[in-house]
Amino acid sequence: MNIAEIKKRLAAFAEARNWDQFHSPKNLSMGLAAEAAELLEIFQWLTEKESVEIVGNEQEMGHVKEEIADVFIYLVRLSDKLDVDIEKAVFKKIELNEMRYPVELSKGDATKYSKRRRVDDVVASKKQKKGGHN
């Protein structure tokens, strides 16, 4: 994906319309949250199964694609304004997640409320069992 190209198109779009003045990171973060919620709304009344099957409904998928695009547009615009390298940040976060959620501790974890048992929580709970102080 050519992020640089997308950044250029979005910057040109804003400048041509004299809208750059409204593109503070604060406002862009609001736009991003608003679009993420429009995407959320598509799935609001669907069951999880229906949400999987949505891929077979062309009209709904058109709507889904538009909202995914809107979220990404705000993310790129915000990253451009704050000089954030999205790809670099993503791989860094994936590595952090791989470290935080070791396979051995996460696999087969059926706890409803802690789908994501963090390694630090497990370490802490081991300390407690030993009678150690936190």
Among 7, 11, 20, 31, binds its own copies (CB under 8 A): 31
- Does residue 120 touch its own copies according to CB under 8 A? no
Report d(CA 109, CA 115) in Å as an integer: 7
How many residues sit in the footprint of its own copies (CB under 8 A)? Answer: 83
Token pair for 112? 């409803």
CB of 126 to its own copies, least distance (A): 18
Burial class from Cβ neighbours inside 10 Å (0-12, 13-18, 19+) for residue 77 reads buried
Q: Footprint of its own copies on residues 44-103 (CB under 8 A)?
A: 44-52, 54-55, 57, 59-61, 64-66, 68-73, 75-76, 78-79, 81-84, 86-87, 89-94, 97-98, 101, 103
